Amino acid sequence: MSHLILVRHGISEYNKKGLWTGWIDVELAPEGYDEAKRAGTTIKDFTFNKAYVANLKRCTETLKEILNVLGQEDLETDVTPALRERNYGDLAGKNKWKIKEEHGDEQFMKWRRGWDEPIPNGESLKDVYDRLVPYYQEHIAPDLEAGKTILVSASGNSLRAMVKYLEKIPDDEISKLEIGTGEVLVYELNDDGSVKSKEVRSTNPKKGKV
């Protein structure tokens, strides 16, 4: 038996302003540090063997706050671009609500939550999935198969891609999945890597609104 705990980073300065962030390397807002600490308090019942984190400040800062809460500051950690947020290309840095006004609800939702909707000079969620899953299979899955307890700190869309893989969510259903800043997903996995149970901790009532 193994456990995989997924944490979305705390709210960032761009999140607060309603800006698409993608690969822009912004820091957590003060409230984001609070969300990270709160996330840490919900998983104090776990002792982790290893952490994986996206190479973006908002993700590494979140992980640092969590590990401080847990008293596991020296935890072995892999920092990787494979877990990066979706590249929003030409939309990065732009206000998502203004984009919604300019392009309409339908196109806005395709860009924001669609599966294989291309963004000019950016990635679709499918692109994120295609770079993330091989990394998961090569690095994270073997740790889980060895019975380890693993912590992942990443962004909304990289976690949506991982959850899609873990829960075998159909392409046409993935748009319904929202993961708020600071939210924690706790998975108990069977020996073959399939999901035995799932629990959501540190839920964010504002998810999908920032």
Give me the DSSP letters along 144-168.
HHTT-EEEEEE-HHHHHHHHHHHHT
pLDDT of residue 209: 57
For residue 172, give both structure tokens.
Answer: 């046409």
The owner of tokens 């019975």 is 147
Using a pLDDT cut of 90, give the percent of the chain over it: 95
Closest CA to 58 of 119, 8, 110, 98: 8
Provide the edge-to-edge strand list for the sheet that holds 184-189: 77-80, 50-54, 149-154, 2-8, 184-189, 195-201
Closest CA to 155 of 45, 31, 49, 52: 52
Task: Give the mean pLDDT of the chain.
Answer: 95
Residues 29-55 have a mean pLDDT of 97
What residues are labeled active site?
9, 85
Closest CA to 39 of 16, 62, 14: 62
Query: Band of the pLDDT at 208, cuts 50, 70, 90?
Result: low
For residue 45, give both structure tokens.
Answer: 């019942």
